């Protein structure tokens, strides 16, 4: 078994789907472990192997995609020699993973919800032992099946989490607020929501080609409608609000990593 996935919730399942879609591994190379019902359900739907805890010793690598609070109880049950571990648990450092799992073959990853549609930006990091055992290379390949992969020094992981991994929620709030603005001015709700989603997608595409300031200046003609809208946003401190959001989320990541029990 090339890979066992422990925790096939939103993220674990998205990653599994990405691997199978890409053909990186075939279903019989993969085992899944979650609650008994979910294990069977996912195994049936995907053709992967339903596992129980003792089976993990036969895995070459184990992907841990449970909630961070579950790692303390789970680690002693999944720790085996000669297995490489890949974790997507927010705020759980490679040092904690190594200590709990009793190996330096650990890779820490931070994907985001866009993994569910194959468009995640995933940060990865791991110690020399993980590099030498091929775990980092395997992880790079694994997350390339659900988007782009960035190797990042671990000291920047909380910042990456606070900005990139949390951003889908921030931008969802922006979309909802934009739609509320449209509804306030008389647009039907469904149309306003659709327009908000479309403009975010289109703007995202444009931002891959242009600096944000250039894009903003192009839309803002002198004395026109957009500059009036922008002035209202600036008066509400929208930039400061986003900078503070990333800072607060980064600090929360740091605090989670320090909390007892993790
Ligand atoms: N969602 C995101 O956008 C996102 C982004 C980046 C990283 N992450 C990280 O990804 C991890 C998973 O997040 P998620 O959103 O996929 O959570 P989730 O949907 O709650 O999935 C976790 C799954 O693991 C199962 N589980 C819990 N304890 C287990 C155990 N001892 N053995 C086997 N399975 C167990 C859960 O079952 P029960 O529901 O029955 O507990 C659930 O099905 C978290 O650590 C999170 O920090 C999430």
pLDDT 10s digits, 183-233:
999 999 999 999 999 999 999 999 999 999 999 999 999 999 999 999 999
Q: Report which protein residue has its CA nearest ligand 1's atom 44.
A: 67
Cα 152 to averaged position of ligand 1 atoms, centre (Å): 23
What pTM value is reported for the model?
0.89
Sheet with 3-6, strands from edge to edge, namely 49-50, 30-33, 3-6, 61-64, 84-87, 106-110, 120-125, 147-151
Q: What is the pLDDT of residue 96?
A: 93
Per-residue pLDDT tens digits for 68-115 = 889 999 999 999 999 999 999 988 999 999 999 999 999 999 999 899
CATH 1.10.3730.10 intervals, the chain: 167-254
Q: Which residues line ligand 1 at a C-beta cut-off of 6 Å? A: 6-7, 9-12, 33-35, 38, 65-68, 70, 74, 88-90, 110-113, 165
Q: 167-254: which CATH topology?
A: ProC C-terminal domain-like fold (1.10.3730)
In terms of DSSP bridges, do strands 84-87 and 30-33 run parallel, antiparallel, or are they unpaired?
unpaired
Which residues, in sequence order, are CB contacts of 226 under 8 Å at separation 6+? 219, 220
> Distance (Å, rounded) from C-alpha 120 to C-alpha 25?
19
Backbone phi and psi for residue 60, each to the nearest 5 degrees, phi listed first: -70, -40
User: Where are the domain boundaries for CATH 3.40.50.720 in the chain?
Assistant: 3-153
Alpha carbon separation from 199 to 46, 203, 205, 241 (Å, rounded):
35, 6, 10, 21
Instruction: Determine the pLDDT at residue 259.
Output: 65
Q: Using DSSP, how many helices (H) and how many strands (E) does the chain show?
A: 12, 8
pLDDT of residue 182: 98
Res 254: pLDDT: 87
Number of Cβ atoms within 10 Å of the Cβ of 32: 27
Q: What pLDDT is recorded for position 244?
A: 98
What is the 65 CA–ligand 1 centroid distance (Å)? 5
| pLDDT tens digits, 15-72 | 999 999 999 999 999 999 999 999 999 999 999 999 999 999 999 999 999 998 899 9
Bridge partners of 124, per DSSP, are 109, 151
> Whose CA is closest to atom 5 on ligand 1?
112
- Which tokens in the block code for residue 222? 């002198």
Contact 200, 174 (CB under 8 A): yes
Is the pLDDT score of 262 beyond 70? no
| Secondary-structure class of domain 3-153 per CATH | alpha beta
Ligand 1 pocket: which of 14, 54, 66 to mutate (most atoms <8 Å of CB)? 66
By the 8 A CB rule, do 12 and 36 touch? Answer: no
pLDDT tens digits for 126-177? Answer: 999 999 999 999 999 999 999 999 999 999 999 999 999 999 999 999 999 9
47 class by beta-carbon count within 10 Å (0-12 exposed, 13-18 middle, 19+ buried): exposed
| Alpha helices (H) along 79-188 | 94-101, 128-132, 135-144, 157-160, 167-184
Res 257 pLDDT > 90 = no
- The b/e string for 221-232 (b: 16+ C-beta within 10 A; e otherwise) is eeeeeeeeeeee
């Amino acid at each position: 078994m090339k890979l066992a996935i422990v925790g096939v919730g939103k993220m674990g399942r998205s990653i599994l789907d990405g691997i199978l879609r890409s053909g990186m591994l075939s279903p019989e190379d993969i085992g899944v472990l979650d609650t008994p019902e979910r294990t069977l359900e996912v195994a049936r739907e995907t053709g992967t192997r339903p596992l129980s805890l003792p089976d993990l010793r036969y895995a070459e690598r184990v992907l841990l995609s449970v909630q961070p609070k579950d790692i303390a109880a789970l680690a002693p049950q999944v720790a085996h020699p000669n297995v490489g571990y890949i974790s997507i648990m927010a705020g759980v450092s490679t040092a904690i993973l190594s200590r709990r799992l009793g190996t330096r073959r650990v890779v820490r990853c931070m994907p985001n919800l866009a993994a569910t549609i194959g468009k995640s930006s995933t940060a990865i990091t791991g110690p020399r032992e993980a590099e030498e055992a091929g775990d980092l290379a395997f992880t790079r390949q694994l997350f390339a099946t659900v988007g782009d992969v960035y190797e990042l020094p671990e000291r920047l992981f909380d910042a990456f989490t606070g900005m990139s991994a949390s951003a889908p929620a921030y931008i969802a709030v922006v979309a909802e607020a934009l739609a509320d603005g449209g509804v306030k001015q008389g647009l039907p709700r469904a149309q306003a929501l659709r327009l908000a989603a479309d403009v975010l997608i289109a703007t995202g595409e444009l931002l891959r080609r242009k600096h944000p300031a250039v894009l903003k200046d192009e839309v803002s003609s002198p004395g026109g409608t957009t500059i009036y809208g922008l002035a209202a946003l600036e008066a509400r401190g929208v930039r400061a609000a986003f900078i503070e959001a990333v800072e607060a989320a980064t600090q929360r990541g740091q605090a989670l990593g320090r909390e007892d029990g993790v």
